[in-house]
Amino acid sequence: MIDTNNIRLRLDGDSEEIEDIRKNLSMLYATRAGSLPLNRDFGLEGDFISQPLPVAKSEFEFEVIRKTEIYEPRVRVEKVVYEYDSTNGAMKPVVYLKGGAS
């Protein structure tokens, strides 16, 4: 299972722009697509959650890359890695980003 409630972002820098990007992406990744009345596409689809882990990881990564390109074009997803949480068996995504002003 992928723990979408604990997505961590890795983006170097501490400028105002970087902080703005972090806030925007945290909101994007924490929102379920379809839940925002005036923008139904905003957020992540949840279809991958019920898939076998290899499929879920692929679908999650595709969704994060696609939505980041649409809603936060100042950065791009460099890679997504997963940290295994042995207490609950969940995979916690870590999204590595590139771009933005440093």
What length is written for the chain? 102
Q: Identity (one letter) of the amino acid at 71?
A: Y
69-90 b/e (C-beta count within 10 Å ≥ 16 → b)? eeebeebebeebebeeeeeeeb
Three-state DSSP at 31 gives coil
Task: Classify residue 2 by its DSSP letter.
Answer: B
pLDDT, tens only, 31-78: 999 898 889 999 999 888 888 989 999 999 999 999 999 999 999 999
Which pLDDT value is given to residue 102?
A: 44
d(CA 47, CA 32): 10
The model's pTM is 0.87
pLDDT, tens only, 3-22: 888 899 999 888 899 999 99
Q: Which domains does the chain have, with CATH numbers?
A: 4-99 (3.10.450)
